[in-house]
Amino acid sequence: SAVISQKPSRDICQRGTSLTIQCQVDSQVTMMFWYRQQPGQSLTLIATANQGSEATYESGFVIDKFPISRPNLTFSTLTVSNMSPEDSSIYLCSVDLSGSEADTQYFGPGTRLTVL
Chain residues that interact with other proteins, rule: CB under 8 A:
4, 31, 33, 41-45, 48, 56, 58, 92, 94, 96, 98, 101-110, 112
Q: How far is the CB of 54 from other proteins (least distance, A)?
A: 14
Closer of 14 and 101 to other proteins (Cβ): 101
Q: How far is the CB of 98 from other proteins (least distance, A)?
A: 6
The beta-carbon contacts of 8-11 under 8 Å, at least 24 apart in sequence, are 8/111, 9/109, 9/110, 9/111, 9/112, 10/111, 10/112, 10/113, 10/114, 11/111, 11/112, 11/113, 11/114
Closer of 16 and 109 to other proteins (Cβ): 109
Q: How far is the CB of 45 from other proteins (least distance, A)?
A: 5
Closer of 86 and 103 to other proteins (Cβ): 103
